[in-house]
Amino acid sequence: MSSSETLAPRALGILERLVAFDTTSHLSNLALIEWVEAYLADHGVASRRVPSPDGLKSNLMATIGPAAEGGVVLSGHTDVVPVEGQPWDTDPFKLTEKADGRIYGRGTCDMKGFLALALAAVPDLAARPLGKPVHLAFSYDEEVGCLGAPDMIRAIAAELPRPAMVVVGEPSNMEAVCGHKGIATFRVTVRGHEAHSSQTQLGISAVMEAVRLMASLSALAERLERQADPASPFTPKHATLTIGQVHGGTAVNILARECVFLFDLRCPPGMDPEAVLADFFAEASAADAAMKARFPQAGVEIARRSNTPAFAPETDGAAEALARRLAGDNGPRRVVGYAAEAGQFQQAGFSTVICGPGSIDQAHQPNEYVERSQMERGAAFMARLVDWASADG
Residues that bind Zn ion (CB under 5 A): 110-111, 170
Q: How far is the CB of 2 from Zn ion (least distance, A)?
A: 27
Q: Is the CB of 102 or the CB of 112 nearer to Zn ion? A: 112
Q: Which residue is nearest to Zn ion (CB)?
A: 110
Q: Which of 16, 37, 110, 142 is catalytic?
A: 142
Q: Which of 37, 79, 209, 329 is catalytic?
A: 79
Q: Is the CB of 111 or the CB of 271 nearer to Zn ion? A: 111
Q: How far is the CB of 111 from Zn ion (least distance, A)?
A: 5
Q: How far is the CB of 356 from Zn ion (least distance, A)?
A: 8
Q: Is position 159 annotated as part of the catalytic site?
A: no
Q: Is the CB of 170 or the CB of 320 nearer to Zn ion? A: 170
**218, 219, 288, 314, 368 from 285: Cα distances, Å:** 18, 18, 5, 38, 44
Q: Is the CB of 141 or the CB of 170 nearer to Zn ion? A: 170
Q: How far is the CB of 312 from Zn ion (least distance, A)?
A: 19
Q: Is position 142 annotated as part of the catalytic site?
A: yes
Q: How far is the CB of 386 from Zn ion (least distance, A)?
A: 24
Q: Is the CB of 110 or the CB of 376 nearer to Zn ion? A: 110
Q: Looking at the annotation, which residues are catalytic?
A: 79, 142
